[in-house]
Amino acid sequence: MYMTQPLHRMMREAPDAIAAIDGLDALSWQQLRDRVARNAGALRAKGLEPGEPVAILAHNSVDYLAWILAIWWAGGVINPVNLRWAASEIAYSLDNCGTRILIVDDKHRGMVPAIRESTSDLRRVVSTGAAGDTIESQAEWAQGIEPVEDALRKGDDHAAILYTGGTTGFPKGVMLSHGNLAASVLGALSLNNQRVTDRYLHCAPMFHIGSLSGIFLTLFSGRCSAFLPAFEPVAMLEAINSWEITEFFVVPTMLKMLVQHPRFAEFDVSGIRHIRYGASPIDGALLDHAIELFPNAHFSQAYGMTELSPVVTILGPEDHRGESRTDLRLRSAGKATATYEVRIVDAEDNEVPRGEVGEIVARGPGVMLGYWKQPEATAEALRGGWMHTGDMGRMDEDGYVTVVDRLKDMIVTGGENVYSAEVENALAAHPAIAACAVIAAPDEEWGERVHAVIVPRAGEAPSPESITAHCRTLIAGYKLPRSFDFVDALPLTAAGKVDKNALRKTLKG
């Protein structure tokens, strides 16, 4: 399998259909293919070596998509840069894999001098907008350039390097092959009922594999990709309305912001047929609200991680409605896709009995090639041929997997394991708590103690005592929070999850 395949295939099925759209651009498959072949020609003319990584630092756009495909077409490897990172972190990830070429948009070109200062390998920076000091423009690059033929890298050939885990020590570059990415796409396609007229809106940042996989899914089903630079509720509602969007991916937090937006009723969202979400389960009340406001939509949840290209389980539409819907299922992440096997194992990698908590491990063609230049971390993660996710979970009798906690978010207090998610669920049921996060705090007596960070509802000020009394009715005594912080908002990662590492730093500082 090769990730440029849809460009070839769609030239025969629908060259004039719109392949990609954003606020500035709308390209047919033919135009997208032509731009890709020309961009690839420019990369080759500048000396790109086969298998060489090229970085992209930009908001979502048609240009971003065209560069991803052009890097593959030219024979390179994509290195999509995390937009939340500081210049020094970006420089580390570029140098780590010897990135010599960086594509940048107008929004992010201001970071270029700082990045340049900290890198030794970076040679060329190409702007999707105007040229500038030490920055070439893609328009200049395209001058006199002939389109080239597709390098047709495929199968086990390296396709992407995606840096993850930057919040825990140094980032690791996850290497994914063309075959890895294609396996993920096809596994997801097997549960998808697509139409030629469907349009998928991509609003989560494109350096994140959750967004990338949505884009690949759209490409391989020959549908139109629509891009918003970033998530913003009104821009999203406007796009759905005016671009005739039929599908999008969000995290539940974003979905909540959408359905609770005071201007929601101004827009026609009746064309939405499928809402995909991930990063966390959805609660029943939010789902009910969303079903009411998106009456024609199916809902599905995907669970995965970069190292798995990423989707490994899906909670399908049938589990979101009718008889199959139960609160227990809704709290799960669904079942393995057609391309994966999933197991729950103990610390010795033995499968645990059904219903017991253990580490979630997965095996299949989407498992990464490895971590860039980290053979020991790779061997550790892939021991026994299974990717060890670091997520704790349980599996029910029908194969549904429920993610209980991140392994590293587990709190070991007085020798007992406490899963932060369980404490958070108890806290979230308190009427005066709007949001919360539970982390381990160092504790002289207990090794670690359960620490809760609380965002009260507007106008409320719950006391630690009332919270403890409430939790005591729901969870065991050793799981109760022993200390509290009250804050206005929780820090979020780029993927929209609560940033527990940031909270831990606050705790130490």
Residues in region 175-194 near a second copy by CB under 8 A: 179, 182-183, 185-187, 189-190, 192-193
Contacts of 242 (CB under 8 A, 6+ apart): none
- Kindly state whether residue 154 participates in binding a second copy, applying the rule CB under 8 A: yes
Q: Where are the alpha helices (DSSP H) in 228-369?
A: 233-242, 252-259, 284-293, 327-330
Are 275 and 254 in contact by the 8 Å Cβ rule? The answer is no
| 110 burial via Cβ count (<10 Å: 0-12, 13-18, 19+) | exposed
Compute the least distance from the CB of residue 62 to a second copy, in Å: 22
The count of residues interacting with a second copy (CB under 8 A) is 38
- Residue 459 CB, shortest distance to a second copy, in Å, is 47
CA distance 430 to 86: 37
CB 310 within 8 A of CB 335: no
State the nearest-atom distance from the C-beta of 28 to a second copy, in Å: 14
Element (H, E) at 489: none
Residue type, 133: D
Q: Of all helices (H) and strands (E), which one includes residue 433?
A: strand 433-443
Contact range with a second copy by CB under 8 A, out of 9-17, 75-83, 133-141, 207-215: 9-17
Using the rule CB under 8 A, give the single segment among 54-62, 102-110, 229-237, 361-369 that binds a second copy. Answer: 361-369
Peptide bond before 310: cis, by omega within 30 degrees of 0? Answer: yes
Residues 445/413, Cβ–Cβ less than 8 Å: no
Figure out which of the listed residues 343, 394, 451, 500 binds a second copy, where binding follows CB under 8 A: 343
Q: What is the C-alpha to C-alpha distance for residues 411 and 159, in angstroms, rounded to an integer? A: 37
As a whole number of Å, the CA-based R_g of the chain is 23
Binder among 47, 50, 132, 155 for a second copy (CB under 8 A): 155
Q: Is residue 152 at the binding interface for a second copy, with CB under 8 A as the rule?
A: yes
Distance of alpha carbon 478 from alpha carbon 464, whole angstroms: 16
Q: Which is nearer to a second copy, 187 or 481 (CB)?
A: 187
50 close to 22: Cβ distance less than 8 angstroms:
no
Nearest distance in Å: CB 236, a second copy: 28
Task: Tell me: does residue 340 bind a second copy (CB under 8 A).
Answer: yes
Q: Are 74 and 151 in contact (CB under 8 A)?
A: yes
- Both tokens of 432, joined, read 């005066």
Contact 66, 34 (CB under 8 A): no
* Contacts with a second copy, 105-144, as mask; x by CB under 8 A: ----------------------------------------
Token duo for residue 317 = 């539409």
Question: What is the closest distance, in whole angstroms, from the C-beta atom of residue 84 to a second copy in the complex?
Answer: 33
Residue (274 or 343) nearer to a second copy, CB? 343
Least distance in angstroms from the C-beta of 180 to a second copy? 11
Structural tokens at position 124 = 């060329």
From 53, 75, 304, 364, residue interacting with a second copy (rule: CB under 8 A): 364
Shortest distance in whole angstroms from residue 336 CB to a second copy: 6
Question: Half-sphere exposure of residue 7, counting CA atoms within 13 Å on the CB side?
Answer: 23
- Contact residue for a second copy among 335, 388, 451, 479 (CB under 8 A): 335
Give the H/E segment covering residue 79: strand 77-80
Q: Which of residues 189-218 bind a second copy (CB under 8 A)?
A: 189-190, 192-193
- For a second copy, which is the closer residue by CB, 1 or 377? 1
Pairing, β 18-21 against β 224-227: parallel
In sequence order, what are the beta bridge partners of 21? 26, 226
Q: Using the rule CB under 8 A, is 356 a contact of a second copy?
A: no
Of residues 212 and 437, the one with the C-beta less far from a second copy? 212
Amino acid at 457: R
The answer to the question of residue 220 lying near a second copy (CB under 8 A) is yes
Q: How far is the CB of 181 from a second copy (least distance, A)?
A: 12
- Residue 13 is a binding residue for a second copy (CB under 8 A): yes
Q: What is the per-residue binding string for a second copy in 395-424, x denoting contact by CB under 8 A? A: x--xx-------------------------
How many residues are present in the chain?
509
The minimum distance between CB 257 and a second copy, in angstroms, equals: 32
Nearer to a second copy, 8 or 123 (CB): 8
* Residue 28 sits in the site that holds a second copy (CB under 8 A): no
In whole angstroms, how close is the CB of 249 to a second copy at the nearest point?
18
What tokens were used for 173? 């570059």
In the complex, the residues that contact a second copy under the rule CB under 8 A are 1, 5, 8-9, 12-14, 152, 154-156, 179, 182-183, 185-187, 189-190, 192-193, 220-221, 335-336, 338-343, 363-365, 385, 395, 398-399
